[in-house]
Structure 1
Amino acid sequence: MAKRNKIAIIGAGNIGGELAMLVARRELGDAVLLDIPEKEGVAKGKALDIMQTGALDGFDSKVSGTADYKDIAGSDVVIVTAGVPRKPGMSRDDLLSINLKIIRSVAAGIKEHAPHAFVVVISNPLDAMVYEMKKVTGFPKERVVGMAGVLDSARFQCFIAEAAGASVKEVRTLVLGGHGDTMVPVLSACTINGIPVTQLVAKDKLDAIIDRTRNGGGEIVKLMGTSAYTAPAAGAIAMAESYLKDQKRLLACATYLDGEYGYKDLYMGVPVIVGGKGVEKVVQIALSAEEKAMLDKSAEAVRGLINDSAKL
């Protein structure tokens, strides 16, 4: 008898609720929405709301809420969004000491109850959080990834399409590096239906778009008073779906590097193939001297964040 996929979502906040809805609407499997005991009612309430939506939208995925890690047992995928969201004026680095404690507790729960899961981390500061997840769980690098490059590339893609007056579906972009101010939008890999974007959008506009992409998260925080959640959830679902369906999509993900691009023992956004075995291949692309220098700077910032984490 065929078995449904099981997707556990740790954190029932804005992103968690959106994740559960996307899992259900796409019928990727059954979803378990988990939060701390004080917010168990929120997790159960959102799950019930989504289940009732299924009666209207015509999906039959099961969604449940819980505060007990035992309920994530047997999960094929675990998506982690637990932690304190950014508030206006707060950098991702400011979150480090708070969210580090949370991610260590979450990682211990996943290690005990879902030891064979593919883990996607969304919690910020992303690069440090996903590194800590792998460290605590001891899972192989193929099964622990961070959602960053997919989101940053989507933001870049959106801004490019707007500037070019083109359909966003025709734009291809790639953003590498850490998930923060030092991220590297790779112009040399940016095209609109195969045409280099540099032939279609003026340099001054592209420079402004790159700056806007780097500050894309902060822009939304200033407007809403909290972090983005719709696009981040969609990014994580793209990664989870590629794993569950063995789609072998090429996606920019925060991946453990062991010599690729010249970096060792750190997580950073690079293009990878995500399939049924997890991260099946790190794709090393040619970068211009300027792009490589920016990536080096980003790697240095990520390394600093990881070193700070080790002291806490």
Structure 2
Amino acid sequence: MSGLKVSVLGAAGGIGQPLSLLLKLNDKIDQLSLFDVFNTPGVGADLSHINTDSSAKAFLPTSKEDTTQLAEALKGSNLVIIPAGVPRKPGMTRDDLFNINAGIVKSLAEGIAENCPEAFVLIISNPVNSTVPIVAETLKAKGVFNAKRLFGVTTLDIVRANTFISQLFPEESKASDFNINVIGGHSGETIVPLYSVGKSKSFYEKLSEQQKNDLIHRVQFGGDEVVQAKNGTGSATLSMAYAGYKLAESILNAVSGKSDVVECTFLNFDDSIKGSKEAKKLVGDLDFFSLPVLLGKNGIEEVKYEILNEINDDEKKLLSVAIEQLSKNIEKGVEFSKK
């Protein structure tokens, strides 16, 4: 894909700035388009001084009613990443974020539908379990939905799962040794790390039951750890930016022709994606779920649902809890989008 344009919506925020920096360093990107409702010109000017070959252009609306800047930022974009929204504060659940972030995400999705309907769309804005359904329903209402090109970014859960188990075995492993599949959703108990499958299995089996429980809890609630450590001044921004970039990079690699690219993502099951029907049956008939997927030139090519047949009994119990909670999160997003 030549002349590749990537748009970051929420580029001046705590996630958007480091995410935009990482994207500026990617040699597959020709144009970096930066949109936010504050400080975008400063971020754009700063990034534009970096001597990589991509351009960086900033867009800032002049008022709440001004949609021209969003349209310009999105026009012709091949990939759109959305970290826009308010961050989580101490004591705030992802559900608390819903009413604020849902409206922001819906308006941005409408902009995508009108200006770059064929773009790959990556959703970082929390709560992902609800915002991804909002985007899906908004694009469907506009007649431009393509399930293969919509991604809920759950990669941070994988990044944490890899890091946290390596910290328990510092003499025998490092974080980059692992690529643990984390399925379900992207909040609390909807996050299900599959430590019993793959390379992590031999390490995981060495842990006591308490250590296993503590490890899983840490992955599920790792965001709280960061919020508390920042003393109320922010949430996970740097690690989230890295995770969002990691998924974007994998998509760009697959689009460029690299084979066997597999990542976990929160997707909308659809008949156009191989394995969707089988996956849906195994996860309580939910329409959205995070599973490993095979990426190709058109986005999501196949859902690797077979992993659900490999999990142990404890993970099946975690999965049951995740399914119950996810159904409510998804319904909340769908209902909001129909208002």
Give TM-score scaled by structure 2 length: 0.83
SS of equivalent residue, structure 2 residue 118:
coil
Counterpart AA for 1:244: L
Percent identity between matched residues is: 30
**Alignment deviations for residues 266-298 of structure 1 (CA, whole Å, 9 cap, x no partner):** 322111112221111110112233323321321
Q: 1:96 aligns with which of 95, 98, 119?
A: 98
**2:66 aligned residue:** none
Q: CA deviation at 1:222?
A: 1.4
SS of equivalent residue, structure 2 residue 187:
coil
Q: CA deviation at 1:200?
A: 4.2
Q: Which runs of 5+ in 2 are unaligned?
A: 61-68, 270-275
**2:217 aligned residue:** 211
Q: Which range is displaced more, 297-306 or 86-95?
A: 297-306
1:181 maps onto 2:188 in alignment: yes
Aligned partners of 1:127 and 1:228: how far apart in 2? 17
**Alignment deviations for residues 113-163 of structure 1 (CA, whole Å, 9 cap, x no partner):** 111100000000001101111110121111111001x21011011011111
Q: Which runs of 5+ in 1 are unaligned?
A: none
Aligned partners of 1:207 and 1:179: how far apart in 2? 18
**2:36 aligned residue:** 35
Counterpart AA for 1:9: V
**2:124 aligned residue:** 122
Q: CA deviation at 1:189?
A: 1.6
1:20–1:63 contact (8 Å) kept in structure 2: no
Q: Which range is displaced more, 166-175 or 259-268?
A: 259-268
1:62 maps onto 2:55 in alignment: yes
Aligned partners of 2:210 and 2:292: how far apart in 1? 27
1:192-203 alignment to 2 at 5 Å?
192=200, 196-203=202-209
- C-alpha distance 79-235 of structure 1, shift in aligned 2 (>3 A): same
Counterpart AA for 1:292: K
Q: 1:44 aligns with which of 31, 41, 44?
A: 41
1:103–1:132 contact (8 Å) kept in structure 2: yes
Aligned partners of 1:308 and 1:133: how far apart in 2? 13
SS of equivalent residue, structure 1 residue 93:
coil
2:164–2:215 contact (8 Å) kept in structure 1: yes
1:282 maps onto 2:303 in alignment: yes
Counterpart AA for 1:305: N
Count of residues in Structure 1 that have an aligned counterpart in Structure 2: 300
Aligned partners of 1:249 and 1:202: how far apart in 2? 34
**2:322 aligned residue:** 298
**2:262 aligned residue:** 250
SS of equivalent residue, structure 1 residue 84:
coil
Give TM-score scaled by structure 1 length: 0.90
SS of equivalent residue, structure 1 residue 112:
helix
